[in-house]
């Protein structure tokens, strides 16, 4: 998976016997063998895994020190012919001092040794009794297992085929200090930080530790692998839970539960391409380079074979948290952002009336709910919301009835203004046959509705609240200077897949059962602009997703392209994993091709968007997040898809 920037990594938690190096290395090799069989390329073991962390004064015993090195030699011999980067901990006696070290092994070679810098000596920790800090080490090379090996804290391990895959190592307490060695590693180019640890368990510590690791991966724009000593450590005073965590860019990818019985692997593929993309966008790294003054890094090359399979969860709805509790929190936060944004704009212009068009669809319903939220939170009478339903040639009884009931049920001021007569007269004025249902027929209706809202707003001294969403902006599924335009657009950075959950969240928390019933029916209504006449049964004939494709696919494409800058091939690959069993590969490919066509051709609409609040990591505001020329060509992206087309057709 190197072609897509994925590397398989793992944290290992072996069972151990204190001070029994041969037993411990046999357990380490057993786990390493399992990892190798599963295509792992980088494997992390706990701090002092070869001896155990809680050996106490036994660390000074020459027998233990000698056998630890022999065990390391056994691991090196086992690894011969296996291009997997392994990091394992052991004590090493160097120049009259004892150091707590992490050793990097690959294909029978010791690539480098990293000693621990920050030695804890407080509360239950008294490591300074045995170990010296790396700051006292003057050597840059030592002889180990008949090899000349670089040693030091400023070692980076770089993949020979993907130069952006760079590994740095810090050990346990190194993470807990104000500026950790891992932070410097990241500034020097490390995209993956490994932390072999032996953190014990006390009440509340695991939550703090998890957040520390997650936030460090976010600050460093790196993947962070952490693994801790577990079953077999001394329980005289402490318990070690064997916790393992893998984070990426501030996101917890996987976690091994505490208090396991050992011999566990935590495996996932990390995405180095997404890390480098974020570093390119955020210039904090370049602006912090002066912090590296006095740090001289050495880079050591290593190789791994890569894998053909894929071990990583791909969320088919990247804008929507999978966990129901987090999703509820996200929905509440977004509604609050929309509410405060609109309330601030209203306060600035003198608490003007809000004018909003209501169709009975999802987007306009959400815009109305935000207006209601503003009124309730800031003690504004709901009558100051002027909600307008504008039935036209394509309006169905279902959407009309829902729109009317919702407006009246929420206590907004109700307006009904048909667009039929005005559009009919307009078609006569421009010489367009009313029976010709083309883009002129559709867009004329959308612009007539916008004109009504704008003119009514002028009459009332009000402000037109936009209803369109992020997904429509990505596809250009909006009439230029029609529903594309407003005076403040509350849904502008909310994708369609998330709008559904926002409306559902409001419905679930509404004390009014009649309003709940309407909102649930709106959620069940097909997405449609209702610009074409209904079918013979009076139901919606013009279904948006039949024309432009499923919004869940387009939201996925948009997120991967805009948020991460991924290539069409990688977007297609990830979509295939995310929607496996939901859409055929050919269907995904068809709509991906359509997405790129529409995305590039419709930038002129995004370049003149009205104001609206940003709610997530993807936004198309031309004043902030997305700046793209309207005449940019999609040629390279479409050529990339053309190369893939024969393969897709053969599936």
DSSP state of 438: S
Which strands, in side-by-side order, build the sheet including 413-416? Answer: 413-416, 385-389, 354-357, 463-466, 488-489
Tell me the CA distances in angstroms from 62 to 67, 104, 343, one per residue in order: 8, 23, 72
CA triplet 28, 32, 33: central angle to 5 degrees? 120
Q: What is the DSSP string of 528-563?
A: ----S---TTSS----HHHHH--HHHHHHHHIIIII
Determine the straight-line distance between the first and last CA of the chain, rounded to whole angstroms: 19
Rg for the chain, CA atoms, rounded: 30
Say which residue the tokens 């009246």 belong to. 408
- Cβ atoms of 381 and 412 within 8 Å: the answer is no
DSSP state of 384: G
Do β-strands 463-466 and 488-489 pair in parallel, antiparallel, or remain unpaired? parallel
Query: What would the two tokens of residue 148 be?
Result: 């000349």
Dist. CA 139–CA 137, nearest whole Å: 6
- Cβ atoms of 364 and 467 within 8 Å: the answer is yes
The SS3 of residue 161 is coil
Which residues carry out catalysis? 47, 116, 172
Dist. CA 430–CA 640, nearest whole Å: 42
Binning the chain into helix, strand and coil, the percentages to the nearest 5 are 45, 15, 40
């Amino acid at each position: 998976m190197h072609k897509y920037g994925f590397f398989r990594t793992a944290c290992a938690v072996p069972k151990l016997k204190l001070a029994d190096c041969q037993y411990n290395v046999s357990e380490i090799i057993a786990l390493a063998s399992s990892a190798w069989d599963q295509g792992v390329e980088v494997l992390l073991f706990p701090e002092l895994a070869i001896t155990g962390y809680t050996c106490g004064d036994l660390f000074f015993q020459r027998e233990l020190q000698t056998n630890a090195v022999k065990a390391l030699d056994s691991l090196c011999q086992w690894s011969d012919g296996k291009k997997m980067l392994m990091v394992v901990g052991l004590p090493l006696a160097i120049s009259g001092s004892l150091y707590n070290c992490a050793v990097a092994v690959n294909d029978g070679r010791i690539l480098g040794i990293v000693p621990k810098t920050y030695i804890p000596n407080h509360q239950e920790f008294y490591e300074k009794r045995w170990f010296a800090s790396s700051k006292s080490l003057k050597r840059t090379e030592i002889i180990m297992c008949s090899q000349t090996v670089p040693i030091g804290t400023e070692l980076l391990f770089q993949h020979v085929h993907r130069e952006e895959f760079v590994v740095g190592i810090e050990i346990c307490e190194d993470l807990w200090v104000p500026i950790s060695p891992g932070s410097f590693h990241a500034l020097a180019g490390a995209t993956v930080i490994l932390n072999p640890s032996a953190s014990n368990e006390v009440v509340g510590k695991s939550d703090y530790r998890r957040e520390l690791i997650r936030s460090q991966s976010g600050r460093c724009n790196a993947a962070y692998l952490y693994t801790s000593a577990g079953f077999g450590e001394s329980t005289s005073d402490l318990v070690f839970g064997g916790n393992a965590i893998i984070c990426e860019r501030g996101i917890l990818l996987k976690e091994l539960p505490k208090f396991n019985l050992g011999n566990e692997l935590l495996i996932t593929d990390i995405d180095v391409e997404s890390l480098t993309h974020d570093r390119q966008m955020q210039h904090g790294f370049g602006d912090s380079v002066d912090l590296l003054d006095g740090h001289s890094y050495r880079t050591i090359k290593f190789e791994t074979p890569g894998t053909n399979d894929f071990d990583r969860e791909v969320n088919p709805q990247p804008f929507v948290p999978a966990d129901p509790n987090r999703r509820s929190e996200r929905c509440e936060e977004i509604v609050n952002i929309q509410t405060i944004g609109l309330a601030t704009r209203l306060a600035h212009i003198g608490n003007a009336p809000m004018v909003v068009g209501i169709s009975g669809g999802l987007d306009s319903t959400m815009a109305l709910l935000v207006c209601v939220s503003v009124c309730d939170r800031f003690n504004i009478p709901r009558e100051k919301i002027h909600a307008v339903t504008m039935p036209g040639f394509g309006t169905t009884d279902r959407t009309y009835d829902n729109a009317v009931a919702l407006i009246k049920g929420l206590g907004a001021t109700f307006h009904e203004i048909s667009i039929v007569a005005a559009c009919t007269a307009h078609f006569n004025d421009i010489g367009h046959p009313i029976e010709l249902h083309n883009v002129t027929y559709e867009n004329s209706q959308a612009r007539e509705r916008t004109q009504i809202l704008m003119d009514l707003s002028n009459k009332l001294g009000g402000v037109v609240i936009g209803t369109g969403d992020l997904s429509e902006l990505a596809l250009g599924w909006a009439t230029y200077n029609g529903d594309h335009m407003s005076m403040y657009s509350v849904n502008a950075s909310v994708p369609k897949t998330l709008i559904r959950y926002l409306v559902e969240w409001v419905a679930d928390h509404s004390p009014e059962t009649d309003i709940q019933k309407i909102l649930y029916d709106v959620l069940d209504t097909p997405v449609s602009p209702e610009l074409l006449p209904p079918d013979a049964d009076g139901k919606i004939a013009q279904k948006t997703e039949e024309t432009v494709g499923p919004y869940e696919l387009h939201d996925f494409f948009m997120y991967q392209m805009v948020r991460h800058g991924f290539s069409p091939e990688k977007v297609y690959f990830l979509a295939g994993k995310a929607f496996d069993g939901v859409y055929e590969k050919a269907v995904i490919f068809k709509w991906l091709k359509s997405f790129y066509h529409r995305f590039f051709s419709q930038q002129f609409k995004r370049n003149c968007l009205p104001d609206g609040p940003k709610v997530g990591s993807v936004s198309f505001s031309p004043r902030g997040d997305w700046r793209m020329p309207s005449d940019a060509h999609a040629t390279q992206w479409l050529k990339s898809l053309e190369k893939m087309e024969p393969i897709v057709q053969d599936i």
